[in-house]
Structure formats: C-alpha cells, structure tokens
Amino acid sequence: MEGLTDRLIEEARRLGFDGAGVADVRPSDHVDFYRAWLEEGHHGEMGYLARPDAVERRADLERTLEGIRSAVVVAQNYYLEDPDGIPDDPSRAVIARYARGRDYHAVIEERLERLLAWIRAEAAGPVEGRAYVDTGPILERELAQRAGLGWFGKNTMLIDPRRGSYLFLGILLLDLELRPSGEEVGDHCGTCARCIEACPTDALLGRNDEGAPVMNARRCISYLTIEHRGPIPRQLRPLIGNRVYGCDICQEVCPWNVKFAEPTDEPAYASRPELDGPTLIALAHRLLGMGENEFLREYADSAISRGRRKGLLRNVCLGLGNWLAGTEEPPEEAVGVLVRALNEDRPLV
C-alpha cells in the first residue's frame, strides 16, 4: 500500500518508540559468522543459541513465519544517568541500566501488539504478524541495520548515529509486503577501539576478516553475572569489581554515547530506588532477608529476575569481596554480611 511504511513509522513513534523502520526479509547475510561463533564456543552455556532448529530459523525467517514479506524494527532509548559516585565507589553495587526499571520485554511487546492492530486496520484485510522482543530466534541487529537504524559497533551493539547504543529492539514479522524504509547504515567506528580497550575482561575481540564484531561471551561481565549459573572463574572475579548485574562499560566509553546519549523519557524505564546504586551491604541484607519465591514475586516485572536470587547474591558477595580486598580496614558490617551468607543453603553462594 502506497505510503504505509511512512505512516507506520509515524505510528510507531506515536506509541513511544524512538526509532522505527522496515527491513527486507532475505536470508541472513551473517549466519555463517554466527555458526562460526558458535563453533568457537563463544556463546558459553547459552545452549539455546546453538539449537540446530533455532540456527536455521535465524538463517531464514520464512521458517518462523510462513509467507513472511516484511519485518518492522522498533528501537527505544533506555539510557539513564548514574547517581553521583557510581560506579567509582567500590562499596556501591552497579546494576546495568537496562535492568533498573520495568522489564522492557513486557513494555515493548504490548506496544508492538498495538502497532500490529493498527497495521491490520490500515491494511483493511487479514495480516499475519508475530512480535518478538529478545524472545525468538531472530538476528535483531541485522534487521535493524537493514532498516537503516544503525550499524554494528565494535562493542557488538547496534549504534544509532543520532542516539548511540542504549537501545532496546523489538521485531514485528509480517506477511504483508512493505517498502523497506532506508539504506543500511555503514560502519562509523573507524579506527576507534575504546570499547575493546576498556573491557576489563578482554571479552571484545575486534572485527573478524569479514568485518563482523566478535565477542567471547564467556569473558563478558554481563554473561558472567546473568547467564552463567555456576561459580565465576576465579581469575575473572577481581575484574568484575562491583558490577553485580550486567555491565555497560563498552557503551559508557563509546564516543557516540558520550556525545549523543540522552536520558530516556520513558517512565517505565526509570530506576527503582533500591536498584539505583545501592550499597553492596544494603543489597546483600535485602537478598539474605528473602527467599527465592519472594524474590521472584518482588521483581516479577523487572529484568533482574532473570538472574534469580542465588545468582544475584553470588554477585553481591563477589562485589563485597572485591571491595574488602582493596581496603586495609574492612568494615565489620561487610564482614558480617559475608559470614551470614556462609549459612546459605545454596552452594553457589
């Protein structure tokens, strides 16, 4: 339909998305790199990424939605400014910005469903569509690049030249033919390597021969503090510092974020007070005072629930250990919290 792509983008912005576009749905140009990345074991324990059926669906979206013709890509800014002194104060817990407010999955999926309803009304006919927000075997950043929303940075993030990389992405697969919204954005990282140099654990490996950015998730602080369920390797523990859930270092140093990132105006992503730079001691007391079920109820609408109570408590204890290792006179309360944690019935803690 004439002009539908432009009107769709306007409607997406009216619904609260900061960016939107339409991508073509030809088979993936990056699936060979993705398979090689898996073969290297860079995905760590995230076995769901390597399931053969999921890999094939990432390669060809027709396997996910029969008759697919277009993909709508939306982006939403989630940048938050850190409280004063965070993360430079080793006694404070640093939680990645994306996890401080409401769970973005629910926020974006609800708006994608509203956008789908609008598309069906505009098309005046049956339209099959499926919404995904990190919930399906889709190479979201490739589609976002095709839609003209940004490029793959060396930090493996999608970088929007107007907003930086603090972006949530959502995908709407459609069996409706739509005009692609723009040309793919080329690489604008140039010779900059600030993200690679800043990563404490050397998780970023630079670009491969084909120009794709490579990350070893097994060394990434976000992976280690969220997806990794076992003990964190001893040699990596001091490098994590006081980051107890996720990590933003490779985004914080990116010149595109330094220059263009602006705090989100989305109320849903505003920080919960207890997740906005709490002391390690206070967060440890809070976690030790609740069970797993209470934790899941308390944070049911927060992305932080993915790490579970035992995982977050493991990370907080590690942060306390790193803090105490750097001080000559350890605070008695901090030592007491760690002693209390020894009584946990979870071997991981």
- The helix (H) or strand (E) run that includes residue 7 is helix 4-14
3-state DSSP call for residue 115? helix
> Which of 82, 134, 175, 301 is flagged as catalytic?
134
Sign of CA dihedral 163, 141, 214, 307: positive
CA dihedral 20, 227, 153, 155 (to 10 degrees): 150
Distance between CA 257 and CA 115 in Å, rounded? 28
The answer to whether 149 touches 73, Cβ cutoff 8 Å, is: yes
Give the C-alpha separation, 150 to 143, whole Å: 10
Query: What type of residue sits at position 240?
Result: I
Radius of gyration of the chain (CA): 21
User: Tokens 């098309």 correspond to what residue?
Assistant: 123
**What is the number of H-type helices and E-type strands within the chain?**
14, 10
State how far the Cα of 316 lies from the Cα of 16, in Å rounded to an integer.
34
Is residue 88 among the annotated active site residues?
A: no
Q: Which positions are annotated as active-site residues?
A: 134
